[in-house]
Chain A
Amino acid sequence: MPEEMKHGMACAEFDALLSDALDGGGLSSDRQEKFEAHRRVCTVCGPMFAEAQAGQQFLQTLEEVEPPAYLVHNILAATSGVESRRTVSADGRTAPLVERAREWWDSFFSPVTSFVRQPRFVMSFGMIFFSFSLALSIAGVKPADVAKVDLRPAALRHAYNDAQIKVVKFYDNIRFVYEIESKVRELKRANAPAETAPAYQQDVPKERKNNNDTSGQPDQRQDRNYSQEYNQPMLAALNGPPAVTRTTNRRLI
């Protein structure tokens, strides 16, 4: 800007006063007069004044824009993490109670529902439902039967008593069966030794003498019931010389 004095004012001074003059900054009458005179004469500052004035008028046409409705909510969530206590609508009024309740409900459940609605969980939920329904159908449970269930307290008490009676009866029956079985087993045990003892007793010494058998043949006693063997009362015993088994004979030959 040329430093040229026109009507007692340089262009730099004009530039410094330009914004004050446009904003109505209150120039003194003397300065205002010099400013106006300079503006009329100066070929640089005159158009500059007109353009700045026009630009100011253009900018005055711009209105304040409305922030997004959830901006405050987002800011609070990103900073303090505390939910907004007052819900104010876009026009500055407090939102009605129902709307606030719905927002509270949404804010509480929306994280859960949005988490659950992820595609990776859909297949899992589908499989759980399918397995559950399959298990119910195999068990013979029908939805229609479930719907007919009487949920009155008296009916529930009655169903509980029925179930308890069934359990007690079942237990008593099982106990009776076991008692019968044990009696039969005792009777068998009492009768069995008298019939089998001679044959058994004849074999025992023979087998006991074969402890030094190195023929490689499998031991014939290995699948015997040892507990039964030693629990049986000894009714007879042989005191003769050790018997020579067929295996021993073969070895000697």
Chain B
Amino acid sequence: MDDAQVVGLLVRRCISGDAAAWEEIVQRYHRRIYNVCYRFAGDAENAQDLTQEVFIKMYRTLNTYDSGKGAFMTWVTTITRNLLVDHFRKTKSDRVTDSLDSIPSEHEDAQPLSERIADRAPPPDASVQSRETREMVHLALQKLSPELREAVILRDLQDMDYREIATALRVPEGTVKSRINRGRAELARLLQRTYRQVI
């Protein structure tokens, strides 16, 4: 029995009221959904709330899942993505892809992102440096526009293929590829400027 059949069986059991099947689904997918939410929202607290919301939505709409239309993971990703976009709109933190030298908002201090990152210059220790790099990448990821961010998260962090991403995002595959290219390039530009200033 392959993975799709196992998941299909779990979903059917869950719809018929089997609590153990639902727990199995939660155990299988919570880590993945939490990671998507964390990388998109930027912090653990929001990620936890959003993950819970995703599962609540899943639980309510599980009977609408049609295995013939796509993989369960794609369906789950679509729900996750829709909730993330809703959350993004609600919080009104519509951060456009901006350069590190631009001032993000009037609420933050006048220091541009590049300087704020540069203030935390990585110490010589390699592991600390690696951790600092990861933090900078995570911070820079939050500066991408939601369209570019979700595309690179699903491709480079969740390792989904282009067709699955296109299905989840409901855009053509060419658009997905274009967004991934632009997202990666924009992220690199943000970080390279930072490194240049640090060095």
Q: Which residues of A contact B (CB under 8 A)?
A: 15-16, 18-20, 22, 48, 50-56, 58-65, 67-68, 71-72, 74-76, 78-80, 82, 84-86, 88
Q: Could you pull out 25 A-B pairs where Cβ atoms are within 8 angstroms? A: A15-B178, A19-B155, A19-B177, A48-B181, A51-B188, A51-B189, A52-B181, A52-B188, A55-B183, A55-B186, A55-B188, A58-B188, A62-B39, A62-B137, A64-B35, A65-B35, A65-B38, A67-B30, A68-B44, A71-B48, A75-B51, A75-B55, A79-B22, A80-B59, A82-B22
7 closest Cβ contacts across the A-B interface? A55-B184, A51-B185, A55-B188, A54-B188, A59-B156, A55-B187, A67-B34
Say whether chain A's binding surface is mostly helix, strand, loop, or mixed.
helix
B39 contact set on A, CB distance < 8 A: 62
- A76 with B48: CB separation less than 8 A: no
B56 adjacent to chain A (CB < 8 Å) = yes
B27 contact set on A, CB distance < 8 A: 72, 88
Q: How far is the CA of A54 from the CA of B140 in the complex (A)?
A: 13
- B191 with A58: CB separation less than 8 A: yes
B152 contact set on A, CB distance < 8 A: 55, 59
Q: Which residues of B contact A (CB under 8 A)?
A: 19-20, 22-23, 26-27, 30-31, 34-35, 38-39, 44, 48, 51-52, 55-56, 59, 130, 133-134, 137-138, 140-141, 152, 155-157, 162, 174, 177-178, 180-181, 183-189, 191-192
A51 contact set on B, CB distance < 8 A: 184-186, 188-189, 192
Say whether chain B's binding surface is mostly helix, strand, loop, or mixed.
helix
Q: How far is the CB of A81 from chain B (nearest CB, A)?
A: 9
- Indicate the member of A15, A48, A79 with the most B CB atoms within 10 Å: A79
- B31 with A52: CB separation less than 8 A: no
Q: How far is the CB of B138 from chain A (nearest CB, A)?
A: 7
Q: How far is the CA of A208 from the CA of B141 in the complex (A)?
A: 115
- A59 with B185: CB separation less than 8 A: no
B34 contact set on A, CB distance < 8 A: 65, 67, 71
B56 contact set on A, CB distance < 8 A: 78-79
- B22 with A64: CB separation less than 8 A: no
Q: How far is the CB of A161 from chain B (nearest CB, A)?
A: 57
**Known contacts A51-B189, A67-B34, A80-B19; is-contact A18 B26 (Cβ 8 Å):** no
Which residue on chain B has the smallest CB distance to residue A70? B48
Q: How far is the CB of A64 from chain B (nearest CB, A)?
A: 6
B178 contact set on A, CB distance < 8 A: 15-16
Q: How far is the CA of A72 from the CA of B12 in the complex (A)?
A: 21
Q: How far is the CA of A51 from the CA of B192 in the complex (A)?
A: 9
